[in-house]
């Protein structure tokens, strides 16, 4: 399945997806990696893996919609069938989502619907939850509000800082995201309202 990835920063999730593809456990072809950040480390990781990259800096466009129109053109040119957001720190507008004729997935570092938006780990610590985690979901027109595909819990420990919690969640993310994508690609997705069930060969998940 021809897949594009958008990433804004470090790109460790991108790296985990590239690694899963290379090992043969994830049957997608990453055909393009994009970022709105010129110097994003994610772009370097993509280049090292031989994947074409492109930058869509917001300041190069008169308004947000123009940037997203360009993103869509680039995806059509690349015949993209699946879009993965991997630490992409901009919200894709409703017009983009409506016009995208392929699934869009995202990974978020909390157990949604708790702590959507920026700084999810900081929000979890400030709230005082004992358990947080990460969520892979389909992207809809809201903020981190789309139907959930997989979630996994991570304990919040007494001495945790934003960084230590983020790091422990990240380790789970690197396993959960490729697994969620694998299920979506190999499975038969059944959606009833917000509820997503993926029927794999090995049975009902
Ligand atoms: C990850 O923790 C991801 O879940 C989060 O940004 C980090 C990116 O790390 N995404 C969001 O917060 C999206 N709202 P990475 O660049 O190393 O993959």
Say whether 174 sits in a helix, a strand or coil. helix
Predicted pLDDT at 107: 98
Would you state the pLDDT for residue 189? 86
- Which DSSP state fits 157? P
Q: What is the pLDDT of residue 67?
A: 97
93-114 pLDDT, tens digit each = 999 999 999 999 999 999 999 9
Common-topology check for domains 1-102 and 106-205: yes
CATH of domain 106-205: 3.40.50.170
Ligand 1 first shell, C-beta below 6 A:
7, 9-13, 86-87, 107-109, 120, 170, 173
Examine the pLDDT at 205 and tell me if it is beyond 70: no
State pLDDT tens for residues 134-167.
999 999 999 999 999 999 999 999 999 999 999 9
Average pLDDT, stretch 41-57?
A: 98
Q: What pLDDT is attached to residue 203? A: 52
Tell me the pairing of strands 82-85 and 104-108. parallel
Q: Residue 137 corresponds to which tokens in the numbers above?
A: 């979901």
Superfamily grouping for domain 1-102: Formyl transferase, N-terminal domain (3.40.50.170)
Relative to the CA of 117, which ligand 1 atom is closest? 14
Q: What is the mean pLDDT of the chain?
A: 96
Ligand 1 centroid–CA 192 distance in Å is 28
d(CA 204, CA 187): 10
Task: Give domain limits for the chain.
Answer: 1-102, 106-205
């Amino acid at each position: 399945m021809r897949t594009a990835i958008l990433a804004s920063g470090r790109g460790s999730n991108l790296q985990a997806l590239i690694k899963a593809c290379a090992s043969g456990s994830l049957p997608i072809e990453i055909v393009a990696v994009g970022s709105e950040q010129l110097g994003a480390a994610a772009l370097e990781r993509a280049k090292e893996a031989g994947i074409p990259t492109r930058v869509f800096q917001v300041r190069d466009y008169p308004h947000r919609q123009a940037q997203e129109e360009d993103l869509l053109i680039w995806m059509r040119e690349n015949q993209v069938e699946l879009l993965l957001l991997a630490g992409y720190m901009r919200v894709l507008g409703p017009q983009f989502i409506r016009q995208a004729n392929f699934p869009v997935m995202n990974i978020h570092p909390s157990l949604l619907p708790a702590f959507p938006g920026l700084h999810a780990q900081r929000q979890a610590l400030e709230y005082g939850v004992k358990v947080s985690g990460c969520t892979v979901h389909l992207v809809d027109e809201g903020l981190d509000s789309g139907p959930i595909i997989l979630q996994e819990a991570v304990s919040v420990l007494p001495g945790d800082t934003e960084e230590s919690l983020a790091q422990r969640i990240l380790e789970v993310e690197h396993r959960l995201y490729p697994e969620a994508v694998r299920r979506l690609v190999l499975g038969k997705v059944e959606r009833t309202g917000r509820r997503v069930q993926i029927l794999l060969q090995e049975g009902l998940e």
